[in-house]
Amino acid sequence: MMTIENIIEVLQAFKEGKKLEYKSVVDGEWQPSVATGNELMINMSSGKEYRVKSTPKLRPWKPEEVPVGALYQHKECNTGGRGLICYCSQYEIGTIGQSGNVAFSINDFFKKFNHSTDGGKTWKPCGV
């Protein structure tokens, strides 16, 4: 059952254009909502539960998650500054790039670089 505070939070989020989820009566799982304002009010008044969709927090890789062999590039340099992730220890990621062999702390790598596992077609953050 939704409290008045939950209802206000959901309505404010809807007004701000944030994504909402509803709790499925079939399996109890949270599903994306596409309800309009009127549908949202009717559904909540009949007991359907809604919440603001949470945004996942990105964190640096753990050493075992580092995709050794993937390409990397500096976030601020989309056309250059690329290299190859060669190894990962408990504290650093070793690379070969235009500046030669360089090791970065896992946290620095997370902050400064993107990576690609498909030969540079798509670039993703260095974390999960």
pTM for the complete prediction? 0.59
For residue 117, the model assigns a pLDDT of 96
CB 74 within 8 Å of CB 81: yes
List the chain domain ranges: 4-52, 63-125
For the chain, which ranges sit under pLDDT 70?
A: 78-80
